[in-house]
Amino acid sequence: MNLSRVLSTEILPVVDRPSRYLGTEHNAVHKQGARVRMALAFPDLYDLGLGNLGLHILYAILNRIDGVAAERVYAPAPDMERELRARGLKLFGVESRDELCDFDAIGFTLQSELTFTNILNMIDLAGLPLRTAHRAAGPIVLAGGPAVFNPEPLAPFIDAFVIGDGEQVVSEIAGVLAVHRERDARLLALSRLEGVYVPALYPMETLPDGRVVPPLDAPKIRKRTARALDGNNFPVDYIVPFTEQVHDRVSLEVLRGCTQGCRFCQAGMTTRPVRERTVDAVEELMTRTLAATGYEEVSLVSLSTCDHSRVRSLVERTSTMAKAQHVALSLPSLRLDSFSVELADMASSTRRTGLTFAPEAASPRLRAVINKWIPDDELIEMASAAYEKGWEHVKTYFMIGLPTEREEDIVAIADLCARTLAAGKRKNPRATVNTGVSTFVPKPFTPFQWARQINIQETEEKQSLLLQNIKRHKNIKFGRHKPHETFLEGLVSRADRRAGDLIEAAWRHGARFDAWGEHLDFGAWQRAIDEVGYDCDDALRERALDERLPWDHIDIHVPKAWFVADYERAMLLQHAPDCRAKKCHDCGVIDVERALCAHMLRNSIEGRKAERAWTRAPLAAVPEPLPVQRLRFRVGREGDARFLGHLEWQKAWQRALRRAGAPIAYTQGFHPHPRVDFSSALPSGEESRAEFMDARLVRRVDMEALFSSLRATAPAGFLLLGVEEVPLEAAATMGEVRGWRYELVPGLAIDEARAAAERIERATALPVTRRSKSGPIEVDVRPMVDRIAVRDDGVVELDLGTVNGKPGKAREIVELMQLPPTTRVVRTEVRFR
């Protein structure tokens, strides 16, 4: 069933941020007549999910295949869930708005254990039985991604897991779905693909104490590894969101994998060996992606970007390109050394706010245990260098509850922050330190997978010990994670299939969005723990080194024996340096991926030589060029584009101008802004044919050519109605607006519409309640109604003005007239002074 009509007329007008569900973003793919339809599902809000690079990659690969269509679906916010359930509707793919039960497969990206209840919620909202055992037909439910390496807690609900990189296997899965149409045949064929795990077809053994583990002789599921990060699989036609994102930028993956060997880090172990993009490839992808999207920020992402073998050239060339295009460049994963400060310095613009480092442990002893080795002096020197270069805030992240931790290790966090701050104050009197502390959660496939996790009470005690010590120092801010979140993560991260009962019970008790402090319902989890009799102490306990583990059947190429050896090295405080810097530690990957490991080692040797010879090209400070031309575009919107908020709509036009190649002028100063102005705010829910957008340009352009390019790249529902050149010094349109003319199309009989209009005309006062910064306020909107009349075709013409700076709002008049909520509101004219 298709939900387009009900969404546009009934649901989108009443939910928060309707732009999350439009599916008409620039570069979204709308493919018709596909034989295989796959819904790529992100189990969290759109605002977080749209930036997920893995989902963009799979979306692009699948949509390039003939006969295959991929759509997206995100966890609906609570208000959307309410609207769907109230009407008995199912969750839908955002592009087609078809219900998910019409698809061949729903593929979840697993980010963290705290999204597991959202996955169950989305399966339920899709109209499928929660458990695979109860499904006889309908879409195959798949899952892959970074949190998939212990698939067992979700095994009762997921038909097939994809272990490792998805680039190749996703096409193979689409092939299986195209050939086999029956559920059982599909599952059998999927189970034969390398890297695909179908729990229902896999034998498990229940031990006498109740633990469910793979049999000793069971076949292994070997993770998939993408051979190379070639440009073909990078989604240069990145979807450009309307809704403001938690990370609103292009994520450009520069390398995958990490060989630093931090002993708590699962991603570092499961993504080996390192594969990287050449600097030329990154530069080319960045050029194409910016041209295709109009984005203003690019992030060079990886687990540790400083470990790129030619990172200086990489940062220099990308930052030069970024500056020329008024694009911000970010390096989110900085290593702990002064070299990182040098790179951040090259990448950053003139304004410096915060720089983030994650020592994770504050005492040298504990840093040796976790294999994140750096002497205290170097840490402080690095922070000093950052303050000296103009950063005022250094953010530091630590963990509590790490194996072998003692009280003095906690006190050392406050001490290290204080010494960092003192050193910083000598360089910069405005220096501050922000400290974030989270609780260690032992993860499968790490040397610490056997360690005990501390419980909520212990976390609180350690946090308050730290707080007492931090309070003694001014200018150190302390942020702590909620102990409940990491506790819940710990309940399932190393669990076996029995945890499925707990997750289901928690979901049934109302748990959703467990990673969001404002949504986390710990009471729901407590009721679930009691109901299923879940043994929380057992979930957090230390495991014996020879214990059979629920994930023993997953093969990430690093054998268990190596993790045991590294755990023992940790207990002896032995540092294992990065194999790319020193020598191979024989972690096992080389036995399977000899060519990749050899290439990685060779590349890093060559890279070190190249980096030694690198010299930085001198950078000249260039002031922003002044505008030489000002174009005034008449713009508007129709259809579902009306649901955009004013800021979303403005930003979408600015990005469209960038895609169209407009040489936009920028303001001077620390934070240059594009000199693009709009005549007035356009409220969500209103269509328009009457807005003006002024763009100042630093180079004269052919007005008609730019008009055509802009029209070609504007998102669906965006109207470009005219353009003229105006003098540079012309007054801003916003200051000249005295009101707006509207057409209201209620679809009523003409007498009804006339009676409603007369009520407004005859009224002496029309009080409404509006929201203001200081709370609700009562406003009489009658003086804002300059004219109201009903035409013979039943359309209401309405002229609104402003009174004491407060604008008339057409939707308020629709409500006062008691017109149907589905009434179209179209702004047809701006009334200038």
Binding site for ligand SF4 (CB under 6 A): 259, 272-273, 579, 584-587, 589-590, 597, 601
Cβ proximity to ligand SF4, 490 vs 588, nearer residue: 588
Minimum CB–partner distance for residue 448 and ligand SF4 (Å): 18
Minimum CB–partner distance for residue 339 and ligand SF4 (Å): 21
Cβ proximity to ligand SF4, 587 vs 785, nearer residue: 587
Instruction: Give exposure, 572-608, as e/b (b: 16+ Cβ within 10 Å).
Output: eeeebebbbeeeebebbbbebbeebbebbbebbeebe
Minimum CB–partner distance for residue 556 and ligand SF4 (Å): 11
Minimum CB–partner distance for residue 578 and ligand SF4 (Å): 8
Q: How far apart are CA 660 and CA 645, in angstroms?
A: 23
Q: Give me 516's structure tokens.
A: 């969001």
Cβ proximity to ligand SF4, 386 vs 597, nearer residue: 597
- Please list, in sequence order, all residues whose beta carbon lies within 8 angstroms of the beta carbon of residue 684, skipping any fewer than 6 positions away: 18, 642, 643, 644, 645, 646
Instruction: Give exposure, 240-271, as e/b (b: 16+ Cβ within 10 Å).
Output: bbbbeeebbbbbbbbbbbbbbbbbbbbbbbbb
Minimum CB–partner distance for residue 821 and ligand SF4 (Å): 60
Cβ proximity to ligand SF4, 589 vs 656, nearer residue: 589
Q: Give me 335's structure tokens.
A: 């290593």
Minimum CB–partner distance for residue 273 and ligand SF4 (Å): 4
Cβ proximity to ligand SF4, 560 vs 689, nearer residue: 560
Bridge-based pairing of strands 255-256 and 328-330 is unpaired
Q: How far from 752 is each of 745, 782, 792, CA to CA, in Å?
A: 12, 20, 12
**How many CA atoms within 13 Å lie on the side-chain side of 323?**
17
Cβ proximity to ligand SF4, 402 vs 597, nearer residue: 597
Quote the DSSP letter at residue 666: B
Cβ proximity to ligand SF4, 179 vs 595, nearer residue: 595
3-state secondary structure of 70: strand
Provide Rg for the chain, Cα atoms: 29
Q: Are 360 and 367 in contact (CB under 8 A)?
A: yes
Q: Are 68 and 36 in contact (CB under 8 A)?
A: yes
Cβ proximity to ligand SF4, 587 vs 656, nearer residue: 587
Q: How far apart are CA 661 and CA 635, in angstroms?
A: 18
Minimum CB–partner distance for residue 586 and ligand SF4 (Å): 6
Minimum CB–partner distance for residue 334 and ligand SF4 (Å): 22
Cβ proximity to ligand SF4, 6 vs 592, nearer residue: 592
Q: How far apart are CA 611 and CA 617, in angstroms?
A: 14
Instruction: Give exposure, 45-75, as e/b (b: 16+ Cβ within 10 Å).
Output: bbbbbbbbbbbbbbbbbbbebeebbbbbbbb
Q: Using alpha carbons only, give the angle 78, 682, 8 rounded to the nearest 5 degrees.
A: 45
Cβ proximity to ligand SF4, 107 vs 588, nearer residue: 588
Minimum CB–partner distance for residue 149 and ligand SF4 (Å): 17
For tokens 């195209």, name the residue.
Answer: 178
Minimum CB–partner distance for residue 475 and ligand SF4 (Å): 41
Quote the DSSP letter at residue 434: E
Cβ proximity to ligand SF4, 56 vs 272, nearer residue: 272
Minimum CB–partner distance for residue 343 and ligand SF4 (Å): 23
Minimum CB–partner distance for residue 566 and ligand SF4 (Å): 11
Minimum CB–partner distance for residue 257 and ligand SF4 (Å): 8
Q: Give me 396's structure tokens.
A: 């530091």
Minimum CB–partner distance for residue 594 and ligand SF4 (Å): 9
Cβ proximity to ligand SF4, 380 vs 584, nearer residue: 584
Cβ proximity to ligand SF4, 522 vs 562, nearer residue: 562
Q: Are 537 and 529 in contact (CB under 8 A)?
A: no
Minimum CB–partner distance for residue 584 and ligand SF4 (Å): 3
Cβ proximity to ligand SF4, 29 vs 228, nearer residue: 228
Q: How far apart are CA 434 and CA 357, in angstroms?
A: 10
Cβ proximity to ligand SF4, 170 vs 597, nearer residue: 597
Q: What is the dihedral of CA 581, 586, 588, 590, to 10 degrees?
A: 60
- Helical H runs in 140-180? 169-179
Q: In the sheet where 196-197 sits, what is the strand order?
A: 68-74, 36-42, 105-109, 140-144, 160-162, 196-197
Minimum CB–partner distance for residue 231 and ligand SF4 (Å): 24
Q: Is the dihedral of CA 60, 64, 65, 67 positive or negative?
A: positive
Backbone phi, psi, residue 224, to 5°: -90, 145
Cβ proximity to ligand SF4, 592 vs 726, nearer residue: 592
- Closest Cα to residue 688, out of 666, 733, 715, 718? 718
Cβ proximity to ligand SF4, 23 vs 273, nearer residue: 273
Query: Containing H/E element for 777?
Result: strand 775-780
Backbone phi, psi, residue 575, to 5°: -85, 135
Q: What is the dihedral of CA 53, 57, 60, 65, to 10 degrees?
A: -160
Q: Using alpha carbons only, give the angle 409, 413, 414 rounded to the nearest 5 degrees.
A: 125
Minimum CB–partner distance for residue 604 and ligand SF4 (Å): 10
Cβ proximity to ligand SF4, 382 vs 579, nearer residue: 579
Minimum CB–partner distance for residue 397 and ligand SF4 (Å): 25
Bridge-based pairing of strands 297-301 and 328-330 is parallel
